[in-house]
Structure 1
Amino acid sequence: MSIQAKFFHLQAVQNLIAPYRYLYCVDLEATCDEVDESESPRPLVVVPDQMETIEIGLVVIDLETLEIVDEFQRFVRPQINPTLTEFCKRLTSIAQADVDGALTYQEVGDELRTFAAQYPNAGWASWGDYDARQLDRDAGLAGCPSLLAGLQHFNARKWHVGLYDNRPKGLKQTVESMGLVWQGTYHRGIDDAKNVASIIKEMLG
């Protein structure tokens, strides 16, 4: 990709976010299951259509300064499969006690809307489109609005591919390929959200 093409791509990204003062960088963890190679075949305890968010991590970038100005993290109590699978606990490092004592999706949504009121005129970004689809799935299962209803979503992974002319990679691999320092624990919502923010700041800076 030529320098000129990258310049035009960056300009296109900047035009997309120009109407906004803040950008929320978001990452979700959800209930999940996978059959290990050492296990006998069995049905999945959690099927994809019934995955529920168990953590939301969100950091706020002020687009005028490209500084992180705040963060929001909550565990969420799942309703359909309240007991986390061993696979899920290993993958996310989220413990059963974390979700047992957590608020419901709808209650976390109320808290998030109060938090977001401090940072109006915002869009939100995630690494890929999974998080946007998961929020819609949660809203359908819970019978309430999505946690980020009404806000424009951006796929930061597509921004990165367009600027760096390479194939999509996982979040941790991307952070390391850009020479940035990985923060925290992989597959934890708030830590992944911070790393998404560091990628976006590097791209826009």
Structure 2
Amino acid sequence: MSPPPGSLLLEFQYLVVLDFESTCWEGKWNAPQHEIIEFPAVLLNLQSGEVISEFQQYVMPMEQPVLSSFCTNLTGITQEQVDAGVPLGTCICLFSKWMQHLCEQHKMSFCAAVPGNRVTFATWSDWDLEICLQRECTRKRIRKPDFFNQWADVKLLYKKFYRRSPKGLAGALQDLGLTFQGREHSGICDARNTATLISHMLHDGCVITVTKSLAPEAQKTRALLAIHGKKH
């Protein structure tokens, strides 16, 4: 795919596209204790429109270790795959090492103050990073790297740019004349297809920007202390 128009003016040169799969149960979409069972990511070069690296790791659920039949049928993830997976904390360490290697290789940085190519995360909705990862790390007291605290919500950017609400990721692709490749609700397939969608949105003139930021825990603590001090 040829570079998008105005690619030299992109705010970000790279995106890490994430799409977690988690434990789930029929009729219980708002269950409080989802656990990540597939942690996939693809690195998208926004100047070329190509995926240049991938990460995928199955994760062992600890709170409810037995997958529901609904979950297996929806995601295609088997009990054997999660039993052979790693705990979430270990997965985050493996992912961080993958990210560190890519940042060195492609001179990328999540911080605007650091010279080099800018990179951030992209997800289809805020669920992956604001709810799923955030809540599980909090419950399990897992240190979450600060780079997970901002991202581009592709679903929101799509709705604002095209002024229509798509019927899911597959529907968004179909609206642009594209076909979903692979299995829906496979995390790695969803991440790849989201990257394809982003590339076409760029070519149509959409600007990819950060849509959500969470304050790191240290900042939250300082803010709470400041509020507490004012009250007393």
Query: Where on the TM-score scale, by shorter chain, does this alignment land: which range?
Result: 0.7 to 0.9
Q: Deviations over 1:91-127 (max 9, x none)?
A: 1110000000001100000100000011332200111
Q: Are 1:22 and 1:63, in contact at CA under 8 Å, matched by a contact in 2?
A: yes
Match of 1:144 in 2: 142
Gaps of 5+ in 1: 1-10, 36-43
**TM-score normalised to structure 2 length:** 0.73
Q: Which residue of 2 aligns with 1:28?
A: 20
Displacement of 1:169 in angstroms is 2.4
**1:176 correspondence with 2:159:** no
CA shift digits 1:34-80 (9 cap, x unpaired): 15xxxxxxxx6x97111100001111011232221111111100010
Distance 1:183 1:115, change over 3 A: same
1:149 offset after TM fit, Å? 4.0
Question: Kindly tell me: are residues 162 and 64 of structure 1, through their superposed partners in 2, closer, same or farther at Cα, counting changes over 3 Å?
Answer: same
Change (3 A) 1:83 1:55: same
Instruction: Using structure 1 for the length normalisation, give the TM-score.
Output: 0.82
User: Where do 1:20-59 residues align within 5 Å?
Assistant: 20-35=12-27, 48-59=31-42
Deviation, structure 1 residue 148: 6.8
Conserved in 2, the CA contact under 8 Å of 1:126 and 1:156? yes
2:88 aligned with 1:105: yes
Moved more, 188-197 or 171-180: 171-180
Secondary structure of the corresponding residue to residue 20 of structure 2: strand
Q: What residue in structure 2 maps to residue 189 of structure 1?
A: 187
Identity of aligned residues (%): 30
Out of 121, 126, 144, the residue aligned to residue 123 of structure 2 is 126
Q: Does 1:202 align with 2:200?
A: yes
Q: For structure 1, which segment, 57-66 or 89-98, has the greater mean C-alpha deviation from structure 2 after superposition? A: 57-66
The residue number in structure 2 matching 1:159 is 157
Instruction: State the number of aligned residues.
Output: 183
Name the SS for the 2:19 alignment partner: strand
Partner SS state of residue 48, structure 2: coil
Q: State whether residues 60 and 68 of structure 1, in contact with CA within 8 Å, keep that contact through their aligned partners in structure 2.
A: yes
Q: Which runs of 5+ in 2 are unaligned?
A: 1-5, 110-118, 204-232
Name the CA distance, whole Å, in 2 between partners of 1:95 and 1:130.
Answer: 23
Q: Distance in 1 between matches of 2:78 and 2:146?
A: 25
Letter in structure 2 aligned against 1:173: G
The separation in 2 between residues aligned to 1:151 and 1:114, in whole angstroms, is: 18
Q: Which stretch of structure 1 is more off in the superposition, 153-162 or 118-127?
A: 118-127
- For 1:73, the equivalent position in structure 2 comes to 56
Q: Measure the CA separation in 1 of the matches of 2:20 and 2:37.
A: 7
- Cα pair distance change 1:145/1:77, threshold 3 Å: same
1:180 maps to a residue whose letter is L
Could you say what secondary structure the match of 1:49 adopts?
coil
Note if contact 1:124-1:151 (Cα within 8 Å) is conserved in structure 2.
no
Contact in 1 for aligned 2:46/2:199 (Cα 8 Å): no
**1:151, distance to aligned residue in structure 2 (A):** 4.8
Q: Could you tell me which amino acid in structure 2 is paired with residue 134 of structure 1?
A: C
Partner of 2:207: none
